[in-house]
Amino acid sequence: MIELEGIWRTYQMGEEVLHALAGVDLTVTEGEHVAIMGPSGSGKSTLLNVIGLLDRATKGRYHFDGRDVTDLTDDELSAVRQQSIGFVFQSYHLVARLDAVENVALPMVFAGVPRRERLKRAEAALDAVGLGPRKHHRPAEMSGGQRQRVAIARATVMGPGVLLADEPTGNLDSASGSQVLDLLGNMNREGLTLVVVTHDPAVARRAERVVVLGDGCIAREWQGSDVVSLEQLFGSQAEQSSP
């Protein structure tokens, strides 16, 4: 499903060169649940952006769903994202003036889906995350957990094979976060490939595999069930991890 080979992402910062990713090799199989962890600045978000085709690698090859996407044009990358990849972010990224069903329907607007079909599919997606009764509520009228569930419905309404989540419970209390993680876990068990960036060991424990980054490289990998603490994962760098 996802195959990264020797991926580098380099930025020129004045006279300095910053290697955000430095020779990453990573394979995520179809239907797998992988957590990405690492201290602040280790390359987690950069890696997620490369996987999600929001950013291009400086060097290396990327095969997505059996297709080499390394040298695709921007329009071709956009088409792959639209058809195959969903995104969930810590801050939801909902449009304040739109209600839940309109927010969920947005990806279908850009895909040219007719309005009647958009609304039908958006309502079904909200039902799937338990928010059917809230379909006409705007973000300000919902809790953080409900907003994140709307964001998940929006991310999955196009039927992607991969869902990428960047700190999906970072703004939620423990109860709401647990509900969101249960929802993502159920989607994964139904076949959705799930890649989650997190600083929370409790979130990582739900994954089958935990990939730990350090200085732009994969430092180690763990089974999710073996994760105990940040200190175990990062050693002396634990105190530098994202809050």
Assess whether pLDDT exceeds 70 at residue 239.
no
Distance of CA 27 to the CA centre of its chain: 16
What gap in Å lies between CA 153 and CA 145, rounded to an integer? 12
Percentage of the chain surpassing pLDDT 90? 86
Domain hosting 210: range is: 2-240
Amino acid identity, position 130? G
- The pLDDT, as a whole number, for residue 240 is 46
H helices of 129-173, in order, are 144-156
Segment 166-183 shows an average pLDDT of 94
pLDDT in tens, 103-160: 999 999 989 999 999 999 999 999 999 999 999 999 999 999 999 999 999 999 999 9
- The pLDDT, as a whole number, for residue 88 is 96
The enclosing domain of 11 has a CATH number of 3.40.50.300
What gap in Å lies between CA 3 and CA 199, rounded to an integer? 23
DSSP 30: T
DSSP 230: H
Cβ atoms < 10 Å from Cβ of 154: 27
Instruction: Report how many domains make up the chain.
Output: 1
Amino acid identity, position 59? K
- The pLDDT, as a whole number, for residue 107 is 94
pLDDT in tens, 34-65: 999 999 889 999 999 999 999 999 999 999 99
Assess whether pLDDT exceeds 80 at residue 82.
yes
What gap in Å lies between CA 147 and CA 164, rounded to an integer? 17
